[in-house]
Amino acid sequence: MELLRNQDRIVQLQAMLFEMARGNFKKRIALSGLDDELETLIVLINMVAEEMDESIFQDGYLSVHQSRCSFVQSTLLVDAASLITDVNLDSEIFLGYKANDLLNRPLAEFMTADSWIAFEDLLQTSSEKRTALSIGLLDIEHVLIAATCTVLRLAGDAGIVLTITTPFYNASNSEDVIEKSVDMIKQRPAPNVFVTQQLYDYILANLGEPLPPIFILSRKFGTNDYKLKEDFRHFFKMSIYKFYNEERLKRAYFLIQTSTLTFKVIAEMNGYLNYPNFCKAFKKHYGFSPSTMKRL
C-alpha cells in the first residue's frame, strides 16, 4: 500500500515538473502529511513553483539573459461572447499580431488553457469592477509569454476591457528595468523549508500537548516570530495554530471511528482539557457532534 502511494506521489512530481517545463507554474502538489524525504521534495518543488510564479508572472516575464527589456501595454475590448472587438495601436506588436488580425477572434485563442479557465472563473466568481490576473499567452508562433492582465468590467454588461502588460526586448533601451527586477527578486527572503519541516514534524508529534506560544517556538527553531509564521503560512496556506487545531481534530475523528476509547479519553489524548471544549471545537469544524458518529 505504501509503495503504491509513493509511486503516485512520484507521478505527481513528474507531472508537475513537466508543467513547469511548459511554463505553467500554477500547479501545486497536495501534501500527504507523511514525514519522509519524498514529502520534503514535494515541499521544495511547490516552493520553487511559487517563487517562479511570483517572479515571472507578477513582474511580467523578465529574462535576465536578455540585455534590453521594456514593456508594452495592449488594451483589448472584449464583448459578452468573449470576442475581441477593438484594440489599441500598441497592439501592433502584441504577441506578433497586427491589430486587425486580432479583431473578431475569440480571446481564448491567445491564452493557455489554464489561463482561460482562471479568466472564466474570475468573471463568474468575482464581483469586483477592476481586478488583476496573471495569465499565460501564446504568441503568433505559439511561444508562451507570461503577462499581467487588468480586467475592467463595463457597466450594463457592455463588455470587458483588458489591459495586458507584455515584455518587449529592444537593444535601444536601458538595462535599468532588468537590474531593478533582479534586485527585487534577490531582496525577497526565501522561505526556510527546513525550519518549516521541523515545525511541522514537531506539531504532529505533540498533538496531545498545548502548543507553545510563537515566541517560544521561534526560539526553539532558531528564527524570529514573523518569519516562522510567514514561512509556515507560505507552505500550508494557514496559520500555525489553525494547522495545529485541525490536525488535533483529524486525529480525534480517526480515533472515534476506529477505536472504542471514550470521548473524554480521546479529548485528553488530543490536548483538550475537558470534553465540552472538545465537543464544541469538533462540532464547529465538522458540523456535527462526536456522539453522532458511527463507532466500532
Beta strand segments in 23-93, E: 70-78, 84-87
Q: Report the pLDDT value the prediction gives residue 92, as an integer from 0 to 100.
A: 56
Same domain, 109 and 50: no
222, 219, 221, 214: which is closest to 198 by C-alpha? 221
How sure is the predictor about 46, in pLDDT bands with cuts at 50, 70 and 90? confident
Determine contact, residues 163/150, Cβ cutoff 8 Å.
yes
Residue 286, helix vs strand vs coil: helix
- Degrees, nearest 5: CA angle 188-192-198: 165
Q: What is the pLDDT of residues 88-107, one digit of tens each?
A: 766 555 667 777 788 888 88
Tell whether 12 and 91 lie within a shared domain: no
Determine the Cα–Cα distance for residues 141 and 18; give it in Å rounded to an integer. 21
The pLDDT of residue 74 is above 90 = no
Residue at 65 is within a domain = no
For the domain that residue 197 is a member of, what is the CATH number? 1.10.10.60
Domain harbouring 169, CATH code: 3.30.450.20
50 and 118 together in one domain:
no
The pLDDT of residue 172: 44
Average of per-residue pLDDT values in the chain:
77
* Structure confidence by residue, pLDDT tens digits, 170-185: 444 444 544 544 444 4
Number of domains the chain is built from: 3
How many CA atoms lie less than 13 Å away from 158 in the CB half-sphere?
9
| Residue-level pLDDT at 186 | 44
For residues 254 and 291, is the Cβ–Cβ distance under 8 A? no
Examine residue 39 and state whether it is found in any structural domain, yes or no.
Answer: yes
CA pair distance 82, 59, nearest whole angstrom: 26
Global pTM value:
0.40
Which of 21, 36, 58 is the last residue in one of the domains?
A: 58
Residue ending a domain, among 111, 142, 174, is 174
pLDDT for 244 equals: 92
Q: Return the C-alpha cell found at 257.
A: 471511528
The answer to whether residue 160 scores a pLDDT higher than 70 is: yes
> Is there a domain that residue 182 lies in?
no
Q: Give yes or no for residue 24 having a pLDDT over 50.
A: yes
Give the three cell numbers for residue 156: 450594463
How high is the pLDDT of residue 171? Answer: 43
pLDDT, position 162? 81
Look up residue 81 and give its amino acid: A
The string of DSSP letters for 182-213 reads: HHHHHHSPPP-HHHHHHHHHHHHHTTTSPPPP
Between residues 251 and 63, the one the model is more confident about: 251
pLDDT for 241 beyond 90: yes
Mean pLDDT of 188-196: 71
Q: Which domain holds residue 279?
A: 189-296
The answer on 193 and 98 residing in a single domain is no
Average pLDDT over residues 235-264: 89
Please enumerate in sequence order all residues whose Cβ is within 8 A of that of 286, keeping only pairs 6 or more positions apart, or say none: 249, 253
123 shares its domain with 146: yes
Asked if 170 and 221 sit in the same domain, the reply is no
Indicate if the pLDDT at residue 188 is higher than 60: no
Give me the pLDDT at residue 55, please.
Answer: 58
pLDDT at 207: 86
50 and 76 in a single domain? The answer is no
Across residues 59-86, what is the average pLDDT? 63
Arithmetic mean of pLDDT, 62-78: 57
